[in-house]
A and B are shown apart, each in its own frame.
Chain A
Amino acid sequence: MLSRVANSIYWMSRYLERADNVARFINVNLHLMLDLSVESASQWMPLVVTTGGESLFRERYAGAGSVQQAATQENVLQFLIFDQDNPNSISSCVRAARENVRSVRQSISSEMWETANKMHLTVRSGASHDGLREAPYDFLEEIKNASHLFIGLTESTMTNNEAWHWARLGRLLERADQTSRIVDVKYYFVLPTIEYVGMPYDNLHWAALLKSATAFEMYRKKYRRIAPQWVTEFLLLDREFPRSVRYCLTKAEHSLHAITGSPVGTFNNPAEQRLGRLRSDLDFARIDEIIDFGLHEYLDNVQSRLIDVGNAIFGSFVAAEPAGPSHQTQTQTQTQTQTTRPAPAEARAPGASSP
């Protein structure tokens, strides 16, 4: 299929999945705030950091003042939900998703187009609604449901052809990335004092992480007791849970190989090679080794390798061309905006609080 169309379908899925995950982050944090009696501003900053927007947030909301002080619930919600200048806000993601859907209307079902279109209208009308920043629960629920509806329509109205595999590939890579960020959030949460570690508040945090990945109930069925090591294992390495990083990468790899036609376990291009290696690393990883290595460092590594996979996909399928006039600038700029996210290490280095 056309490279541009493949690229748009891939990004359509990624952006919707990202919007969905930002909605989850916020929702869980809102609930957590109600349970914790700690200074609330300090608990909103981790969301900004995990979505990779720290420097932008600092620039737009803190000015010369302290970022921690600027990170009020109101500011962070504005930044993560409606701020059009934040490329990872729900508003920006839904808009970008819809623009991608619009340019591939002939390759997907009209029900999918209508869903993306309605989602865009929901966000647009929400932006002018003042009460929403106080209690955005219904709004966030609507975003999550629209995203589920879109995925359901993709499953039930699209032929499982190359376009479908591109949609799935984009969705699963984004989800793997987002789940790794959810686990990483814990790294930044500030507990009032060191004595709180391992205390009920700590457990609340871990339960909140599970909830933001809709993993709480499934986790309980398997492990019953909340323990940091097991939660991490479940979200990173579980073979069967559909939001675990390993599960996402396994299925993403299937779709990538369905697109190229080469068998899983082999590779013919850098995308297959990098994704295959990352997936097999997770296949044979042990959680105690990961924790010994350092969870945050390990997740950082996973995230930057996921970015490499994304770049390799772009290089192998979209930008690839024989000698001749160069690719249209418009496409290139657009794609650059899409692929570029602040590298996690860079976004976190200054001012990151220690666990």
Chain B
Amino acid sequence: MNFNGYDIEGFYDEMFVHAKPSDSALTTPAHPTPRPGARLLVERIEALLDGDLGRRQQAAEIALYNMGITFNVYGSEDAEEKIFPFDIIPRIIEAREWAPIERGLAQRIQALNLFLDDVYHDQNIVRDGVLPGDIINACPAFRPECVGIDPPLGIWCHITGTDLVRDADGAFYVLEDNLRCPSGVSYVIENRQILKRTFPHVFRASSVRPVDDYCIHLLESLQRLAPHTEAPNVVVLTPGPYNSAYFEHAFLAQQMGIELVEGGDLFTQDGYVYMRTTNGPQRVDVIYRRIDDDFIDPLAFRPDSALGVPGLMDAFRKNRVALANAPGTGVADDKAIYAYVPDIIRYYLDEDAILPNVPTYLCRREDELAHVLAHLHELVVKPVSESGGYGIMVGPHASRREREECAAKIKANPANYIAQPTLSLSRAPVIVGDRFEGRHVDLRPFILHGSEPYILPGGLTRVALKKGSLVVNSSQGGGSKDTWVLDTEPDADVSFVDASILPPVEHH
């Protein structure tokens, strides 16, 4: 298989550069020009024998199936596990591109943590007129129960997955912060295991930054939350086998060598948290919880929750157990507050945001509402209170009727909606049958915030596998790719494939 005739169709392509205007005069369908970091990979793929790439793709899928790397889809009739589709062509990010992302993500999580601490204490940011107070109060993820709490080390959000997208100009934008229970990191680690087997030579020659030590960093940052204990008992709290991310919960617990617990395994007594073991109760010091705020404690939040632990919030409030992430962090990834993050960064850090936001219209503001309603056909409308890609209306792809329905919903409850321009998301080649086609991608890097931020080099590249689709969520037909962050700038002279067997590659 080769990339002859692969058409980037005017999008920003992660693997190939735009053809120069002068090239367009060429009469033959040109072989696209790989970006410097992807050159070795393109050479290697094209040097493979016919059918070899397809076999490697198949082998990767079988490996995923055998490893049980699956997720559950809500609402499907027979809620069985499905494989998360995976494309073996990695997405490559060069070192010079990654450096500002890393700095930008670190800056953002620091500012958002300061913001959270402020929101649940004095709300200086409101008093100083930077953020309207009613936005906070209207936010369903704001937890009055958390007001006045001092979590260990003053950190509220320990684990973040931030969604980045690249626009037509090649610049990265923050699409969404996920400060509650972001998932996907297990796929990053497992995808890498498979890709190392799939392209060992390119991998070695490309000096790709490792992701395997994520769980070591994760365990360390969790242990740090129980400073008073020599050997803290850290557990992962899962809603159970029927949760869509159960595989990940089990994976992380297994990799960290700690217990995977369900709500029923824990109980509180005298303000402390214990787990039920065959040897009697055992104290729990730190909980990496993968259950939403609403369900973690029926005494504090939803009383009908059977997933949580009665009394957990009380123990947390008294600092007798640490929770990662702390309850209430959702206020900082609220889609309305998102629009203020650049101001939040400036307010707390006195710096400009390194990673820009996508321009956002808040329908709660009258002038912006009018603009949104008049431009629905070119905007993406998102409900503030939903996640996982549910409830999104993509204007340019929607029918007239869908747009009208959307307009009605916005008018009925403007504060629940934001709108953003439809970005021309970057694309990357995926294997479709016996050829390559471009598909839109995003990137979810994972950030740990311990004493200082640790950013997993790379992250989960999600692919909208449906042709032309912009929705990458796994629940909506998305797949994934391994993401290679290169450690050094690619060397133009290195090539390990005999040039004579390669089709001509254009250099410029």
A314 → B minimal CB distance (Å): 11
- Cα distance A90–B280 when bound, in Å? 34
Judge if B38 is at the interface, Cβ distance under 8 Å.
no
Judge if A3 is at the interface, Cβ distance under 8 Å.
yes
- Cα distance A321–B265 when bound, in Å? 11
Point out the residues of chain A lying under 8 angstroms from B259, CB to CB: 1-2, 5
Judge if A274 is at the interface, Cβ distance under 8 Å.
no
Decide: A330 and B306 in contact? CB cutoff 8 A.
yes
- Cα distance A102–B243 when bound, in Å? 12
Q: Which of under 10, 10 to 19, 20 to 34, or 35 or more describes the interface residues of A?
A: 20 to 34
Q: Per-residue CB proximity of A90-107 to B under 8 Å, as 1/0?
A: 000000000100110110
Beyond the given A4-B276, A106-B253, A321-B281, please list 5 additional residue pairs across the A-B interface where CB-CB is below 8 A.
A2-B275, A110-B67, A113-B68, A114-B66, A324-B269
- Cα distance A6–B264 when bound, in Å? 14
> Closest chain B residue to A323 by CB distance?
B269
- Cα distance A2–B78 when bound, in Å? 29
The 5 closest A-B pairs by CB, nearest first: A328-B264, A106-B254, A3-B276, A317-B278, A331-B264
Point out the residues of chain A lying under 8 angstroms from B306, CB to CB: 328-330
Point out the residues of chain B lying under 8 angstroms from A320, CB to CB: 276, 280
Decide: A6 and B250 in contact? CB cutoff 8 A.
no
Q: Report which of B253, B265, B279, B310 forms a contact with A4, defined as CB distance below 8 A.
A: B265
Point out the residues of chain A lying under 8 angstroms from B261, CB to CB: 2, 4
Judge if A191 is at the interface, Cβ distance under 8 Å.
no
Judge if A162 is at the interface, Cβ distance under 8 Å.
yes
Q: Which residues of chain B (143-193) have a CB below 8 Å from chain A?
A: none
Known: A259-B278, A330-B306. A324 touches B268 (CB 8 A): yes
Judge if B327 is at the interface, Cβ distance under 8 Å.
no
Point out the residues of chain A lying under 8 angstroms from B310, CB to CB: 325
Q: Per-residue CB proximity of B223-243 to A under 8 Å, as 1/0?
A: 000000000000000001100
B83 → A minimal CB distance (Å): 13
Q: Give 9 CB contacts A-B under 8 Å.
A: A2-B265, A2-B277, A3-B276, A106-B254, A110-B66, A114-B66, A320-B276, A323-B269, A324-B267
Decide: B241 and A102 in contact? CB cutoff 8 A.
yes
Q: Which residues of chain B (49-82) have a CB below 8 Å from chain A?
A: 66-68
Judge if A327 is at the interface, Cβ distance under 8 Å.
yes
Q: Which secondary structure dominates chain A's binding surface?
A: helix
Decide: B264 and A327 in contact? CB cutoff 8 A.
yes
A165 → B minimal CB distance (Å): 10
Point out the residues of chain B lying under 8 angstroms from A318, CB to CB: 276, 278
Decide: B267 and A103 in contact? CB cutoff 8 A.
no
- Cα distance A327–B276 when bound, in Å? 10
A325 → B minimal CB distance (Å): 5
Decide: A328 and B263 in contact? CB cutoff 8 A.
yes
A215 → B minimal CB distance (Å): 33
- Cα distance A106–B264 when bound, in Å? 18
Q: Report which of A5, A99, A114, A330 forms a contact with B68, defined as CB distance below 8 A.
A: A114
> Closest chain A residue to B260 by CB distance?
A106
Judge if B328 is at the interface, Cβ distance under 8 Å.
no
Point out the residues of chain A lying under 8 angstroms from B445, CB to CB: none
- Cα distance A217–B206 when bound, in Å? 63
- Cα distance A6–B279 when bound, in Å? 11
Judge if B90 is at the interface, Cβ distance under 8 Å.
no
Judge if A350 is at the interface, Cβ distance under 8 Å.
no
A contact residues vs B (CB 8 Å cutoff): 1-6, 99, 102-103, 105-106, 110, 113-114, 117, 162, 259, 317-318, 320-325, 327-331
Q: Per-residue CB proximity of B259-297 to A under 8 Å, as 1/0?
A: 111111101110000011111110000000000000000
Judge if B37 is at the interface, Cβ distance under 8 Å.
no
- Cα distance A266–B508 when bound, in Å? 84
- Cα distance A4–B237 when bound, in Å? 13
A108 → B minimal CB distance (Å): 11
Decide: A2 and B68 in contact? CB cutoff 8 A.
no
Decide: A103 and B68 in contact? CB cutoff 8 A.
no
Judge if B311 is at the interface, Cβ distance under 8 Å.
yes
- Cα distance A110–B254 when bound, in Å? 11
- Cα distance A42–B275 when bound, in Å? 52
B16 → A minimal CB distance (Å): 38
B41 → A minimal CB distance (Å): 30
- Cα distance A6–B265 when bound, in Å? 11
Known: A6-B278, A320-B280, A325-B311. A105 touches B250 (CB 8 A): yes
Decide: A105 and B275 in contact? CB cutoff 8 A.
no
- Cα distance A177–B114 when bound, in Å? 62
- Cα distance A323–B67 when bound, in Å? 41
- Cα distance A105–B66 when bound, in Å? 13
Decide: B276 and A321 in contact? CB cutoff 8 A.
yes
Decide: A3 and B278 in contact? CB cutoff 8 A.
yes
> Closest chain B residue to A313 by CB distance?
B278
Residue of A2, A103, A114, A323 most packed against chain B (CB within 10 A):
A2
